[in-house]
Amino acid sequence: MPYFLVILAYFLGSVSTAVISCKMLGKVDPRTVGSKNPGATNVLRYAGKKAAFFTLLGDLLKGLVPVAIGHALDLSWGWLILVGIAAFIGHVYPIYYGFKGGKGVATALGVYLALNPIVGIVVILTWLISALVFNISSLSALIATLLAPLYFFWVTSSLDLFLGLVLITAIIYWRHRTNIVEIIDGTEDKISEKK
Ligand code: NKO
């Protein structure tokens, strides 16, 4: 049964809500503009708030729902994070789009919220505080996902969970490698331009 949930999570994670919501709202395909990333940040830039909202919500639910089902089945932390990783990998390397997906931020957040809602909210607060300070979406995600494994280890003391979360963080950093260069160069996009 847990194996089945892991596979299901991968196929669900592979569905791009950025591509689907932009298509349904008659907006530009986010994979062709800006950062070319099918994620809420790039959708907000080129397709507006409504499409960005659905993208964020959909990508979050792809991580949240499978892990919440795992919780209902009383799976161990090790199995739960395996289910979460499967959903996350689906989003980042989707089977339906030639394995070219997103950066994994919203789906990781859904996984965090399902693993432990309180810790998930603390991760969101970390993102919000970073966003208020730096005004950069990618940097805020990089800070939040770096701290998430530590928060969870503090609360659960599960090494399986910690190692799985570190893998998610490592993949998010890898997917943000061009963002990291632009952050260092000072050329990364701001969330809101105050000019
Ligand atoms: O286009 O390369 P880009 O600038 O878009 O995108 C960089 C970005 C990619 O990720 C996304 C996903 C959407 C993030 C918006 C977050 C909204 C507020 C909720 C808090 C999220 C916190 C958690 C992060 C943990 C990983 O990075």
Question: Does the Cβ of 56 fall within 6 Å of ligand 1?
Answer: yes
Q: Taking residues 69-75, report their average pLDDT.
A: 97
Mark out the alpha helices in 73-158 (DSSP H runs).
Answer: 77-92, 105-115, 117-134, 137-156
Per-residue model confidence as pLDDT tens digits over 127-166: 999 999 999 999 999 999 999 999 999 999 999 999 999 9
Q: What is the total residue count of the chain? A: 195
**Based on C-alpha coordinates, what's the Rg of the chain?**
16
DSSP 69: H
pLDDT at residue 1 in the model = 74
Give distance in angstroms: CA of 172 to centre of ligand 1: 10
Q: Is 167 helix (H, G, I), strand (E, B) or coil?
A: helix
Tell me what ipTM this predicted complex has.
Answer: 0.93
Mean pLDDT of the chain: 97
Q: Is 25 helix (H, G, I), strand (E, B) or coil?
A: coil
Domain edges within the chain: 2-185
Question: Does the Cβ of 37 fall within 6 Å of ligand 1?
Answer: yes
Question: Does the Cβ of 64 fall within 6 Å of ligand 1?
Answer: no
Give distance in angstroms: CA of 108 to centre of ligand 1: 10
Kindly report the number of other CB atoms within 10 A of residue 82's CB atom. Answer: 20
Question: Does the Cβ of 143 fall within 6 Å of ligand 1?
Answer: no
Question: Does the Cβ of 44 fall within 6 Å of ligand 1?
Answer: no
Note if the pTM is more than 0.90.
yes
Question: CA 98 to CA 109: how far, in whole Å?
Answer: 24
Per-residue model confidence as pLDDT tens digits over 2-33: 999 999 999 999 999 999 999 999 999 999 99
Give distance in angstroms: CA of 40 to centre of ligand 1: 7
